[in-house]
Amino acid sequence: MGDSIMALFPNSADDAVKAAIGLHERLEAFNDDIRGKRFRHISIGVGIHTGNLILGTIGNENRMETTVISDAVNLASRLEDLTKIYEAKIIISRDVFIKLDNPGIN
């Protein structure tokens, strides 16, 4: 997956969308703080999809790693890739949109 964050929201799709919006609000504030301090601003894209997954830990006593196997995670990653192409901050799948309580309200 490269540089990424994966978060699980078991209660509702709204929680995932609110978290993505919150990430962007906090990142905007951070970028405002570093403006003019010889740092480049940071931008992120968020892809959100819903579905089943298998989550577990693999490895041995010398090296343990958590991994996920899922088409849903793969699709969320592809949606995140599309944020660069479409210059969008957040892209959600149709499945997520359908599960939102109030899709037109932040």
Structure tokens at 48: 């959100």
Q: Is residue 106 part of a domain?
A: no
- Rg of the chain over all Cα atoms, to the nearest angstrom: 16
- What is the domain extent for residue 62? 13-99
User: For residue 80, which of 33, 18, 20, 37 has the smallest C-alpha distance?
Assistant: 20
Q: What is the pLDDT of residues 25-57, one digit of tens each?
A: 999 999 999 988 888 999 999 999 999 999 999
| Confidence (pLDDT) at 52 | 93
3-state helix, strand, coil in the chain (%, to 5): 40, 20, 40
Q: What predicted TM-score, i.e. pTM, was given to this entire model? A: 0.85
In a domain, 58, yes or no: yes
Total domains present in the chain: 1
pLDDT at 36: 85
- Residue 63 included in any domain: yes
